[in-house]
Structure 1
């Protein structure tokens, strides 16, 4: 499975002549090294837009209903949204230290590798590549499809086949853009981030106007009916944190970030507080015209809000929500491809997924693989169950990554730390992660948590023969497959300067 060959051996063409596979158009030495490296093309603005654009996606337009269900009251709901923002900020500060200490792409992967060794890093890449990233991509694409099709089916739910076909088309389009150019993907992300901030501003300003006109009845006695269930509050945090997910996205592309020691922490400090304030204000705006009961019954909260407040221009809400979800999907695809690329480069998955297009400077095999898995998740998907499944597994690794930061304070004191957070910060993240993982299981055990755990640990069955032992027969099987895929996609092995 783990093929070590870079496929530079001579292969015969149909006319019998010999060529070096994928080397025939590449000059040797310096140019060959140049064309097989990912470029540093992401600056501070693009990095901030990646964080903001990935965080503000479908969550703020879907999760308000689920958060309210878990808390039972408007006041508790707003407190959960604010607490999620604080937790996301604490987690991001931990990642700022890790990202400036270990300047490798791949998000949690290199940090778990340095902190705990290759087994945990492999289990993270196994789970994230095959479940977390593609399921997240699928969730956002499905959300985009629901909002895009909603105006064409007023008063009823769009047919499921329409939503799923639109979602698959969104995945294919985004994968194509990311395969063609890093700059193009960054420009698209910047534009869509500006669009989503515009609709957020429209919702917030109109909500302030409604409150100024006296529409405060839903905010009176805000904690009436609040739940005290240990597990229900945990699920409310799950759905709130799903809306905040993306605060760690810049760590997946550290190798492509200009001046990461400065721009990584700056983008985090600018992006996450901005999103946190926007989320709380958007929820206040929702409650200015929508009662808690109506919010729970609404299939698309933002569309319901637009119909009541922005008519006859209410059509702008689903349009900009579509822009928002496409931007989040683009950011998820961009970073998910980098994790797959790094895992392939380290030999934890097939080597072909670490190859780079010498024409476009993008890890196109990794991006295409991520897109194919996402489409498979779209076929049977149901959004709320996917969010719970995603959050359970994701917070296991968030907690382990914060724990790795604490461990490396003692095991790797020699590493330079341009950003250094108080040790209480990762400790809080570890404790909260344990709560978010255990609370729903203790309160309401469900089989999906068991399936997730079995899947994570099941990766060990592949680790031993294919990664640890590197059985020779896997190389013999993968060598011709890798060669043909390399020729088909016109990609080459990555190089280090």
Structure 2
């Protein structure tokens, strides 16, 4: 299991690791992952949160999740990673200054097109790319951690003194700090999207969570410690590319290694996000909650091409007006609404679905605490630092109810008349068919 972003990708405006209390972030992630381990072994269906919400609350919350995930959560995550790639790829060409915004956005759009094309053309090629770039990610992680230990052994500890000076403490600032910290760990629930494809999910799903998340957490904390041996919290916040700054100060003249491997890392993270893009759409399409064509599979290449292309197109739209930090807050606000609702579903099913087998059963206090933390993460920024973006996000999510009523509940004939020719033309253009018609 790996998180969505490499720990070397702290954006320039992120709060410092000391101020965001990484051990608390780790605890939140690990507690949530334990809840998902129970859900994944209790309901062995792919699609992540979708089947859990369906079982606990019925079709409407499940539909709203698929709607929000399809149009907000997944594409914005893809956009954030690709913007991170662009910042690190452009940084070496603009020493001493920030790369032009247009350069970053064009690079991000280009890598989105490349990754979506690769994953639309070949599942094997996508998996090979994932394996290669994951290995590259581990190489740069090890390099930075080893450098940090060497510097600590040399007595470089002055930046750890008075780390909380000038820190602004409020409910809203803490929540936004958690947004930045938790974003780096997002991906802890990805195995729940492919539960049906796992061998022996009752064993391998919890084992991956128990081993993977602590391993990622340790690596992230050690890397942040390495950063602090060289940079103050102010320098961390002002750096456009933290790992590049670290490399320039520690590895010169071999500092080019850091941005190169960070670029590899971001490509791997983006490719992994795209690789799993079709699972949720497939499950939602199977339930009749999405346009059928988005769950279709290429008859020649056996890839969910329509879903992948759709994700790429929406991600490019997010890149045009957005920046990393705005998108992280937008993404985190939306995703933690459904993380909290999914964990609350676990509590509800303890009483309403007692007949379900639970190979893993965690103490009920854990999902209760995660649900409370999720509520705080969602409400605190709205109360202390209200922005119109949060209201727009809520209205957009609730707007999905209009489509649910028109297209799913009442199944208006005119809607089917409109969608049928669109589906037919897309089928011919992309050479895709429903999953059940794909030849074995």
Structure 2 length normalisation: TM-score?
0.96
Give the alignment partner of residue 76 of structure 1, picking from 19, 32, 38: 19
**1:120 alignment partner in structure 2:** 61
The correspondence of residues 352-371 of structure 1 with structure 2, limited to 5 A, is 352-371=293-312
**1:55 alignment partner in structure 2:** 4
Structure 2 counterpart SS, 1:147:
helix
The correspondence of residues 456-495 of structure 1 with structure 2, limited to 5 A, is 456-495=397-436
Give the alignment partner of residue 95 of structure 1, picking from 30, 33, 36: 36
- Contact 2:244–2:259 at 8 Å: present in 1 too? yes
**2:254 alignment partner in structure 1:** 313
Distance (whole Å) between structure 1 residues aligned to residue 189 and residue 322 of structure 2: 25
**1:176 alignment partner in structure 2:** 117
User: How far off is 1:234 after superposition?
Assistant: 1.1
User: How far off is 1:140 after superposition?
Assistant: 0.6
The answer to whether 1:165 aligns with 2:106 is yes
The answer to whether 1:350 aligns with 2:286 is no
**2:15 alignment partner in structure 1:** 67
Give the alignment partner of residue 158 of structure 2, picking from 213, 217, 227: 217
Structure 1 length normalisation: TM-score?
0.85
Structure 1 counterpart SS, 2:246:
helix
Cα 1:369/1:75, change in 2 over 3 Å: closer
User: How far off is 1:246 after superposition?
Assistant: 0.6
User: How far off is 1:311 after superposition?
Assistant: 0.6
- Contact 1:144–1:325 at 8 Å: present in 2 too? yes
Structure 1 counterpart SS, 2:90:
helix
Distance (whole Å) between structure 2 residues aligned to residue 223 and residue 130 of structure 1: 38
Q: Which digits, 9 at most, give the CA deviation of each residue in 1:32-53, with x for residues without a partner? A: xxxxxxxxxxxxxxxxxxx31x
Q: Could you list the runs of 5+ residues in structure 1 that have no partner in the other structure?
A: 1-50, 69-73
Cα 1:477/1:76, change in 2 over 3 Å: closer
The correspondence of residues 2-401 of structure 1 with structure 2, limited to 5 A, is 51-52=1-2, 54-57=3-6, 60-63=8-11, 65-68=13-16, 75-77=18-20, 80-401=21-342
**1:438 alignment partner in structure 2:** 379
Distance (whole Å) between structure 2 residues aligned to residue 239 and residue 169 of structure 1: 25
When Rg is computed on C-alpha atoms for both structures, the one with the higher figure is 1
- Contact 1:353–1:366 at 8 Å: present in 2 too? yes
Cα 1:375/1:64, change in 2 over 3 Å: closer
User: How far off is 1:332 after superposition?
Assistant: 1.3
Q: Which digits, 9 at most, give the CA deviation of each residue in 1:41-71, with x for residues without a partner? A: xxxxxxxxxx31x4333x6422475122xxx
Q: Which digits, 9 at most, give the CA deviation of each residue in 1:393-437, with x for residues without a partner? A: 110000000000111111111112222211111111101001101
**1:14 alignment partner in structure 2:** none
Q: Which digits, 9 at most, give the CA deviation of each residue in 1:311-334, with x for residues without a partner? A: 111001101111111111111112
- Contact 2:11–2:241 at 8 Å: present in 1 too? no
Distance (whole Å) between structure 1 residues aligned to residue 11 and residue 346 of structure 2: 30
Structure 1 counterpart SS, 2:193:
helix
- Contact 1:149–1:163 at 8 Å: present in 2 too? yes
- Contact 2:5–2:81 at 8 Å: present in 1 too? no
- Contact 2:47–2:280 at 8 Å: present in 1 too? yes
Distance (whole Å) between structure 2 residues aligned to residue 165 and residue 154 of structure 1: 19
- Contact 1:164–1:378 at 8 Å: present in 2 too? yes
Distance (whole Å) between structure 2 residues aligned to residue 399 and residue 155 of structure 1: 42
- Contact 2:8–2:141 at 8 Å: present in 1 too? no
